Amino acid sequence: MSDEVNGRSPHPADRAIPPGTLAVAGTPLGNRGDATDRLRAALADADVVAAEDTRRTRRLAADLDVVIRGRLVSYYDQVEAQRAPELVEALRGGQSVLLVTDAGMPSVSDPGYRIVEAAVAAGLLVTCLPGPSAVTVALALSGLPSDRFCFEGFLPRKPGERARLLAELATERRTVVLFEAPHRIEAMLRACADALGGDRRAAVCRELTKTYEEVRRGTLAELADWAADGVRGEITVVIAGAGEARGLTTGQLVEMVEREVASGSSKKDAVALVAASTGTPKRTVFEAYHSR
């Protein structure tokens, strides 16, 4: 069957995804209006569409009034390792491959890393169709510092592993973004409050971009109490970095210490004074000042 009969342009320049290229595409978190024109074109044009859930991808395409004309294959956690080599061979053969997950950007706590790694290792072209991401949406809505942040995905389920990670995050000065399941959110927030301090500021963002979108802001202790009544939906949690418990940035802590030093206090006394006046752990103030 010719390209013309197949409804596809024989000219690479006219293709939404160039032949032999892997395109990683962000999909709407819930609001179909967030789908880009590039995503629509790629869904219709790709030779292969690798999807975390083929049924959800078919529904997305139908909602966008798009017909997927290429081969639709599953690409979820349990088959990612075996499917990646198959997709690499398709790319080597000159086919275009579109990778999508259920919502948001592939590879960000979703399948995608292995195929991108394999394609890069094989010297194949990889591109991205930018789109929604729960990480950046929640960060923007949290009201917490967003100039520097880290993403930790889901906390470990095993108590020991979770405690070790939270101990590391206790002195992390960047804003922390996490994912969590609704049935575990209360326990997760209480664990964070115990390890990071109940007065650490945070935001729980659920059902982002959807009809019942909600952002709850408060301290970890307050949010844990709120979650005790039950929380539904997809959840992203944003937690202030060390030194932010009272709304202070690292820079502000440094400025406060410098003012105390300028007024005659020793560096040690200045750190202690700022820690006491702001309720910030002395170690946090010390590290902020000496890493400036």
Confidence of residue 210 (pLDDT cuts 50, 70, 90): very high
Mean pLDDT lowest among 53-57, 110-114, 161-165, 286-290: 286-290
Same domain, 15 and 125: yes
Which of 132, 155, 171 delimits the end of a domain? 132
**Nearest 5°: phi and psi at 35?**
-70, 140
Average pLDDT, the chain: 90
- Long-range contacts: 78-82, Cβ < 8 Å, 24+? 80/111, 80/114, 80/115, 81/114
Same domain, 66 and 171: no
Which of 132, 158, 185 delimits the end of a domain? 132
Give the pLDDT score at 246.
55
Mean pLDDT lowest among 161-175, 204-218, 227-241: 161-175
Same domain, 183 and 259: no
Give the pLDDT score at 13.
52
Give the pLDDT score at 1.
36
Residues 184, 187: Cα–Cα separation, whole Å:
6
What is the average pLDDT across 246-270? 83
Residues 111, 78: Cα–Cα separation, whole Å:
9
Q: For the chain, how many structural domains are there in total?
A: 3
Residues 68, 82: Cα–Cα separation, whole Å:
23
Contact 242, 145 (CB under 8 A): no
Pick the closest to residue 135 from 114, 99, 107 (CA basis). Answer: 107
Residue 245 in any domain: the answer is no
Which of 64, 98, 132 delimits the end of a domain? 132
Give this prediction's pTM.
0.78
Give the strand order in the sheet containing 235-239.
149-154, 175-180, 235-239, 201-206, 214-219
User: Does residue 114 have a pLDDT over 80?
Assistant: yes
Residue with tokens 């101990």: 167
Here the CATH number for the domain that contains residue 164 is 3.30.950.10
Here the CATH number for the domain that contains residue 103 is 3.40.1010.10
What is the average pLDDT across 192-200? 91
Residue 244 in any domain: the answer is no
Residues 250, 171: Cα–Cα separation, whole Å:
12
Confidence of residue 279 (pLDDT cuts 50, 70, 90): low
Tens digits of residue pLDDT in 37-84: 999 999 999 999 999 999 999 999 999 999 999 999 999 999 999 999
Residues 207, 271: Cα–Cα separation, whole Å:
41
Same domain, 116 and 149: no
Could you tell me the residue range of the domain that residue 283 belongs to?
250-290
User: Does residue 92 have a pLDDT over 60?
Assistant: yes
Give the pLDDT score at 106.
95
Residue 149 in any domain: the answer is yes
User: Does residue 85 have a pLDDT over 80?
Assistant: yes
Tens digits of residue pLDDT in 120-161: 999 999 999 999 999 999 999 999 998 899 999 999 999 899
